[in-house]
Structure 1
Amino acid sequence: MTSQITVSAPGKIIISGEHAVVYGYPALICAVNLYAKVGIEITKGNLDIYPDQAKDIVLRSLKNTERFLDTKFEGLKINLNSEIPIGCGMGSSAAVSVAVATALMNHKAGKIILKHINEIAYETEKYYHVNSSGADPAISTYGGFLWYRKETTNFKVLTPLKPKINLASFIIINTGKPDENTGQMVEGVLKFYKNNPAKTEKTFQKIENITRSFLRYLLKEESVSLTELIRENERYLEELEVVSDSTKSLIKKIEKIGGAAKITGAGGRKENSGILLAYHPDKKRLVTFVREKKLTVLPAKFTSKGVKVEKNS
């Protein structure tokens, strides 16, 4: 066992497939270089977790790791520091769960097994998001780009991808933390589904078609208008009623200057809708627009890096 461990796990962006992924449809997801960082130090005292507001998720991750490894952790100081915006659709809770499970597994076993880390983090996610797709812990564990599909609760298809297209043209905009949490948004779509099953299935199918077009675009198998693809994707998400009026208004302004934007994540109905993935064929025009409107832009880039043990001593 080691005395000090530091682990980092990335946040994520959903390129396409939000909400539909919960119902067994595919999603295209990627890791971004904003990280949840967990430090563990061996002490002779009790279990200490910092900061206080992180205690619930860290403790739940710890308990799930204990059950998986059939052990008990004591005498640890666990410190969490995260760059990922909380509650905005970038997988902050999953990244914390992945980082904690990795640090504890490395502490106890001296090695990490990604498949097991993903399984532990998924159990933690299910507590916070009852109908979790499992996409967030998967991308935080493995990093890069993934084609992800939840076939059953315990069987998921994860296919790593290597895009042949430069994605530097995207800008990640934070519209602000939604009033609703992810669980409430997922529950809202479930209610919408129960009230409109045929309509919802049709929307999910249209989202799947968009997701597959994105996949072919990224692999250079299809020439498409990225602007139109993103706009169409956003319209289908609006059909699910997961985008607030203020966010719709912002998206329309981006479209008016020739660009496109979509929510990425669970969204939000009342006011803010979390993160937007924005694009313009001429990125300078989008950058100018963002500056003029004084929007919050995240300095995040797509990354191949998944969870990583940064320090082990």
Structure 2
Amino acid sequence: MIKISVPGKIHLLGEHTVVYGKPALLAAIDLKATVSISSAKNFTGNSVLKKAIEPIIKEKFNLKKIPSYKLKIDSQIPVGCGLGSSAAVSAAYIAVLLSFLKIKWDPGLVNKLTYEAEKVFHGNPSGGDNSTVIFGGLVWFRKESPDLTTIQPLTFTIPKKIAKNFVLINTGKPKETTKEMVEMVAKQCVKFKKIFNMQEELVKELLPAIREGNENQLIQIIKAGEKNLEVIGVVSPSVKSIIRKIENAGGAAKICGGGGKTKAIGVLLTYHKDRKTLEKIAKSLKFPFFRVTLGIKGLRNEN
């Protein structure tokens, strides 16, 4: 049996605008997807994933047939909540399948193939999710054109006084898919050019704020970034009210993925100088919440 694990991710800032060549700051988190593979007479496992992944492998390596196998997926990452579940599962699946086929691979190759899988699931993904879950750590990501992509793993770690005060609040799985939300923004992207430029500046300001442990600046940047996401229409009214409640308590919160128009938007990234304030708010709203470690290692062979 071959076993590979890949972590989930969060967007610290830059979701949606990253599709239009703007930078994003992402972090791998300590919720992971583990995929194992072993020989079998007939295929058992997730047939939807199989139909998406196998054609990519066959085309890349000019394979006519792939031997049958048993596929097992164990994931701690909530699905459809902006935590990179599809990228993590696809990356782990691709890596174990290549190993099963005795094809040599490295993280760069798995990243390229996972991006092709992400296109099947999300239409026009930025490539940021797959890059972060595979390479791990904190990642500066920018895709200015199909031939010019910057993936810069950052060497510094988040200061403890900041790292301990992030809480993820799960508002539930959005009715809309990430693909649908990306397409919705694309239809109006021309009028959002100013917003996209503002987000770029905020991402650039976020980097030193985190590195230096500047909590006040961090809170202001998250709040400003969230307001811009609300302007482009990816935050539902009910979630806006939750975010305002957190802001009124002295904290900040923002969506972490594609968002949603109607009710749930997946996971909120929240920050407060006193983490317990966030936990109290989540409890009062009866939403699941959890602390995560940011910046962990990426794709790993678990054998």
Deviation at 1:14, TM superposition (A): 0.2
Could you tell me which residue of structure 2 aligns to residue 187 of structure 1?
183
RMSD: 1.7
Query: Any idea what SS the aligned residue of 1:15 has?
Result: strand
Give the direction of change, closer, same or farther, for the CA distance of 1:223–1:252 in structure 2 (3 Å limit): closer
Could you tell me which residue of structure 1 aligns to residue 159 of structure 2?
165
Residues 57 and 93, structure 1, Cα contact 8 Å, conserved in 2:
no
- What percent identity do the matched residue pairs reach? 38
Could you tell me which residue of structure 2 aligns to residue 218 of structure 1?
210
Give the direction of change, closer, same or farther, for the CA distance of 1:224–1:289 in structure 2 (3 Å limit): closer
Is 2:102 the partner of 1:109? Answer: yes
Task: Please give the alpha-carbon distance, in whole angstroms, between the structure 1 residues aligned to 2:71 and 2:186.
Answer: 36
How many residues of Structure 1 are paired with residues of Structure 2 in the alignment?
299
**Could you state the TM-score of these two structures normalised by the residue count of structure 2?**
0.93
Deviation at 1:55, TM superposition (A): 1.9
Task: Please give the alpha-carbon distance, in whole angstroms, between the structure 2 residues aligned to 1:124 and 1:101.
Answer: 9
Task: Please give the alpha-carbon distance, in whole angstroms, between the structure 2 residues aligned to 1:178 and 1:277.
Answer: 15
1:250 is matched with which residue: 229, 242, 249? 242
Residues 11 and 31, structure 1, Cα contact 8 Å, conserved in 2:
yes
- After superposition, the C-alpha distances for 1:100-138 in whole angstroms (9 at most, x for unaligned) are 111012222365311100000000111122211011111
Give the direction of change, closer, same or farther, for the CA distance of 1:246–1:309 in structure 2 (3 Å limit): same
Is 2:42 the partner of 1:46? Answer: yes
2:88 is matched with which residue: 84, 89, 95? 95
Unaligned runs of 5+ in 2: none
Runs of at least 4 residues off by over 4 Å: 221-224
Could you tell me which residue of structure 2 aligns to residue 228 of structure 1?
220
Stretch of structure 1 that moved more, 290-299 or 88-97: 290-299
Deviation at 1:154, TM superposition (A): 4.0
Q: Which amino acid aligns with 2:28?
A: A
Q: Which amino acid aligns with 2:182?
A: V
- After superposition, the C-alpha distances for 1:133-172 in whole angstroms (9 at most, x for unaligned) are 0111111111111000012124311000123523221000
Task: Please give the alpha-carbon distance, in whole angstroms, between the structure 1 residues aligned to 2:188 and 2:262.
Answer: 16
Q: Which amino acid aligns with 1:19?
A: H
Task: Please give the alpha-carbon distance, in whole angstroms, between the structure 2 residues aligned to 1:130 and 1:110.
Answer: 27
Could you tell me which residue of structure 2 aligns to residue 141 of structure 1?
134
Query: Any idea what SS the aligned residue of 1:215 has?
Result: helix
**Could you state the TM-score of these two structures normalised by the residue count of structure 1?**
0.91
